[in-house]
Amino acid sequence: MLESFAAAVLAATTIVFPPGGAPNTTPPPDHITIEVVTVNGSGCPAGTAAVAVSPDNKAFTVTYSEFMAQVGVGAQPTDFRKNCQLNLKVNVPQGFTYGIAQADYRGFAHLERGATGVERANYYFQGMSPTAYKTHNYSGPLSDDWQATDTVEVAAIVYHPCGERRNFNINTELRVNAGTSNPNTTTSFMSMDSTDGSVNTVYHFAWKVCR
């Protein structure tokens, strides 16, 4: 899909929210809304991340325009690590709730021989313990799309407490290390960025009825 540093990069994340062990992708009849409360991190400076809900209530999309970690020629010392924390207010129809089961990430990486890259993420509801970070490692030489899938066992899924108001936090991180490559003559990077200024991270919903 992408063939150079300047090519468009597509990063997609899918999160499924199953009810009590049995997946259910039927959305509630009423529309959900999602408000971005805060956006923090070097991978998503102010104005570079936005959230939109799909018309069918089955997904929401986080769009980034600046999310890339890099080392080597042209990189600043702090560019080796980029992160983004989104704090979202998810308004779901009365009587429904959700939890995180799976996340599928895709992006693009150019890693010189000897260089390494890392993608990791976790999620939590405000006032509750975060999920453990899911980490995916990549090694150069690599100049291609990358893909990673995080899964959570059904018994370990954490649901938003019914009847409470807790914001949803998403933490994502990209990290690149020069390793044995020569940062004075080469550049290595991992990206969730694109030339057209948008990369979509899509979170798909399934629903659980509150009892």
Expressed in angstroms, the distance from the first to the final Cα of the chain is 45
* pLDDT computed for residue 4 by the predictor: 27
Question: Residues 156, 103, 34, CA angle at the centre, nearest 5°?
Answer: 95
pLDDT at position 157 over 70: no
Domain ranges, ordered by start, for the chain: 33-209
With a CB cutoff of 8 Å and minimum separation 6, the contacts of 95 are 28, 209, 210
DSSP character for 155? G
CB atoms within 10 A of CB 170: 22
For the segment 133-145, the average pLDDT, to the nearest whole number, is: 93
Q: What confidence tens digit (pLDDT) does each residue in 25-79 have?
A: 455 666 667 777 888 899 988 888 777 777 766 666 777 788 899 999 999 999 9
Give pLDDT tens digits for 71-119.
999 999 999 999 999 888 877 777 777 666 667 777 889 999 999 999 9
- Range of lowest pLDDT (39-43, 85-89, 133-137, 139-143): 85-89
Q: How far apart are CA 49 and CA 64, in angstroms?
A: 5
Range among 29-33, 48-52, 135-139, 200-204 with highest mean pLDDT value: 135-139
Question: Region 127-148: what's the mean pLDDT?
Answer: 88
Task: Give the pLDDT score at 38.
Answer: 85
CA pair distance 160, 123, nearest whole angstrom: 12
Q: What is the largest CA-CA distance in the chain?
A: 61
Fold of 33-209: Jelly Rolls (2.60.120)
Residue 14, φ and ψ in degrees, nearest 5: -115, 125
Structure token pair of residue 129: 């313990």
